[in-house]
Chain A
Amino acid sequence: MGTPAYDVSHLIGGGVLLLSFVMLYQRRIGAVINSFAVQGALLACAAAWQGWVQSAPELYLTALIAFSAKAVAIPLALRLLVGRLGLHKAVETSLGIGASLAAAIGLVGLSVLVVLPVTAGGATPLARVDLTIALSVVLLGMLAMIARRNAISQVIGLLTLENGLILAAVGVAGMPLVVELSTAALVLMVALVAAVVVFQIRDRLDTLDTHVLDRQRGDA
């Protein structure tokens, strides 16, 4: 404890988690996209820092990919999307801001309670804290998907969830790059599909509020 390596990675991880909270209380879609971009940049920092600490050069590649995709490409694409679709700038929430923040705090507490005792045996303190934060980010991503009605915010929730997975992957020494790349590719594909669906929904229904979909179910 107390070594610079530990402190810095703790700091970056905390930052990623903080941005997840930020995303939960934003009311404007532009702000949500911005915070997602910042989170992607922080994730790239975390990967680079881990690459330096673990002397694992392939993590620099991960950092590069994370930065270019998460901090630059995807937010830009989302902004373009929002502009082209002329979306309402306000985000409709289905769960109140206060309630979702309270739930988020509960989820962070839960992941601390789960990860710390489970990894009490062998893992290094660094990996334990890292896993705790990563699990929290994953849970908050899922919460964001549930708490928002807008399809774009739901896609961002899914991508946040993937950020958490990458954070866990870079934090554990010896995790091969293949895993990260394939996870990232998988989630990107999901995001692609989601984007197509978003366009389809808008073309057909003139709104991105997924609540409207309930009326369109074939089996009802």
Chain B
Amino acid sequence: MLTVLLSTLAALVLLALAAPWLAGRAPASALVHGGSAAAGAVFALLGLWALAAGPSEAMDLPFGTSFGPLGVALDGLSAWFLLLLGIAALCASLFGLAHEARAPARVLVAYPLFLAGMALTLVAADGVTLLLGFEAMSLASWVLVAHDHGNAGNRRAAQLYLVFAALAAVCLVPALGLLAGPGGDLSFAAIRESPPQGWQAALILALVVAGAGAKAGLVPLHAWLPLAHPAAPSHVSALMSAAMTKVALYVAARLLLDLGGPAQPVWWGVPLVALGAASAVLGALRANLEDEGKTLLACSTIENVGLVAVGLGLAACFRAADLGALAALAAGAALLHALNHAVFKTLLFLGMGEVAHGAASRRLDRLGGLIHPMPWTAACVLVGACAAASLPPLSGFAGEWLLLQALIAAWRVGDLTVQMLVLVATAMVALAAAMAAAAMVRMFGLIFLGRPRTPRAAGGHDGPLLSRMSLLVPAVLTVLLGLLPGPMLALGAEAQRLLTGEAMEGRAGFAVVAVGDGAAAYWPVGAALLLAVALLAVWALVKRPAASEPDRGPAWDCGFAAAPQHLPFGDPLTQPSAAGMGQPLRRMLGNPMLSVTESVTMPEPGTTAPARIEMGFRDPSFALLLAPLAALRDAVVIRTERLRDLSIRQCLMLPFAALVALLVLIAWLEGGA
């Protein structure tokens, strides 16, 4: 099994190496994206196989580093995330195959490396391999974000992205160093033998939450996400949002829950719960205010990453309080939501890419009415949007429902602080779920419903068969995963056991998912049948007395005068705009979280100038986190510049002082030992 996986990884690297020579010729993109699609299919099948047939033996690569051999293994947790990565990679590569025929060489080189890096991170069996994969993923995705570097905005996004990638590395490397087993052994087996304790454990917790959180987009380290996703090509942003953030969450789960050992205290999960709840609310709120399609989806990703983080944190709290069944429930919810989010977010990003191709814009205010010219895309995005709005029986519902059930049961952790925190977190998660639904209604309504806001939007069209397939596959999977959460939870039992020591056995059946004995239960198939019956009844009631062909009339424009000649699709001002639809939520919740500004400029009486209303909001992480950090960087740079003014003797003295300091350190360490 691992041999197949490693050969696939090697093939991806070979593809990346071959891409520069092939670039410029017609089949280059087809080869790279086709190969990546095949690799994605292999990853998904291997993940499924490993989940069904049990974990495989660990294997050492034939080469190693000075820290020991590089090892790979495929256990339940790796396999679950590998399945998720495979599905996302398959769909994204199909989309790339359909639309990116003239992709430049830098994209063709970085894309397979990005995939290979993510897969290597997932199957790593020791710290060095994990870091190698993680950094390959970071760097390759940076190239992809920066691919269109002619645009100043993209350059800025790539710069910010690189800073956050470096931050993740700066945090994860010392965290793994602190985790190392006796004698600096970095293999996961050795780390499990000697779990961290005391101040080291607290430091590891802080470093891993910061390092993995920076890559996953947890508040307050989320600033790069809404900038980097629009800068990357659509299929890459689908992969980044669906798979890369999950890989970061996998690293957090692996290092904190699996390798951290079961003996950690209750507060071990608290940072994840707190930051996750904050991310969920902030992401969902921003998703309601953005007017650029991919930025909106990126903010929705922040929300969903937050939900998964809350699940992981809760699992840690429950496990520390010896509530094994509830811990398995929370871990199951987190894993299920990670998988479901990966699938429907791939679908939504690819759908947005299709809209950008078909209607030449991603700004909500330049789209509208696309359901008529782009029926395939509209139908598939509707499925994804309903899942993102967590409507039953689609896939988004099951995970969020289980998560809320776990949150509601969290009072059983005896600690009062945790109880209060979880109370707040429950409210925040519920608020986030509602706001996510509102954001999806706004997105779908503005893009696909109503009338076209620009002539270009009226000329939209569906993509070729291949890109329709790339939307159809995740749409079908979203429905299937929504109907079958029980079997998926049963498949992921090994992953839940790795994270919490227990699994949701007996509670995840084919047709029913139960929270616990005598508690709430969810019948997805039953819910789907009920909904289908209700919808059929409504359809029959509406259809029976109606004529066989619908009558199409002009849309009612709220009693305004007829549109002028130069606006063939009606005055755009008679339709709600993106800012207008976000208005109520911005006024209600925007302050103080997003420091919303709103100003009205009235013209002087007698002038013909229009009155202007200007609105905007700023993400607090820029003012509170990035601006002070930039100031600190400038101060440090100015200090280090002074080194250039040293005299020769002072220059000589610097290395001498460093040498003496190191010798003193050795003497001190040897004396202490």
Contacts and interface: CB of A to CB of B under 8 A. Distances in A.
Q: Which residue of A110, A113, A114, A211 has the most chain B CB atoms within 10 A of its CB atom?
A: A114
Nearest to B670: A117
A115 to B, nearest CB: 9
B660 interface: yes
29 contacts: A94-B649, A110-B663, A110-B664, A110-B667, A111-B663, A113-B667, A113-B670, A114-B663, A114-B666, A114-B667, A114-B670, A117-B670, A117-B671, A117-B673, A118-B666, A118-B670, A139-B660, A142-B659, A143-B656, A145-B652, A146-B649, A146-B652, A146-B653, A210-B648, A211-B649, A213-B647, A214-B648, A219-B644, A220-B645
B660 A107 contact: yes
B97 to A, nearest CB: 53
Q: Which residue of A146, A213, A219 has the most chain B CB atoms within 10 A of its CB atom?
A: A146
A219 B645 CA distance: 8
Interface string A108-150: 0011011001100000000000000000000100110110010
Chain B: interface secondary structure? helix
Interface of B: 644-645, 647-649, 652-653, 656, 659-660, 663-664, 666-667, 670-671, 673
Nearest to B653: A146
Nearest 3 A/B pairs, CB to CB: A117-B670, A113-B667, A214-B647
A203 to B, nearest CB: 18
A145 B655 CA distance: 12
Interface in A73-125: 94, 107, 110-111, 113-114, 117-118
Given A94-B649, A213-B648, A110 B660 contact: yes
Contacts, number: 43
Contacts of B652: 142, 145-146
Interface residues of A, number: 20
Contacts of B648: 210, 213-214
Nearest to A116: B670
Contacts of B671: 113, 117
Nearest to A148: B649
B649 A210 contact: yes
A211 to B, nearest CB: 7
A166 to B, nearest CB: 19
A67 B649 CA distance: 30
Interface of A: 94, 107, 110-111, 113-114, 117-118, 139, 142-143, 145-146, 149, 210-211, 213-214, 219-220
A125 B671 CA distance: 19
Nearest to A219: B644
A176 B666 CA distance: 27
A219 B643 CA distance: 12
Contacts of B666: 114, 118
A168 to B, nearest CB: 15
A117 B667 contact: yes
Contacts of B647: 210-211, 213-214
A219 B647 CA distance: 12
A219 B670 CA distance: 43
Nearest to B663: A114
A146 B647 CA distance: 11
Nearest to A138: B659
A94 B673 CA distance: 38
A33 to B, nearest CB: 21
B651 to A, nearest CB: 10
Given A113-B667, A146-B653, 7 more contacts: A110-B660, A143-B656, A145-B652, A146-B652, A149-B649, A213-B647, A220-B645
Nearest to B647: A214
Contacts of B664: 110
Contacts of B656: 142-143, 146
Contacts of B645: 220
Contacts of A213: 647-648
A219 B642 CA distance: 12
Contacts of A211: 647, 649
Nearest to A149: B649
Contacts of A214: 647-648
Contacts of A114: 663, 666-667, 670
Contacts of A118: 666, 670
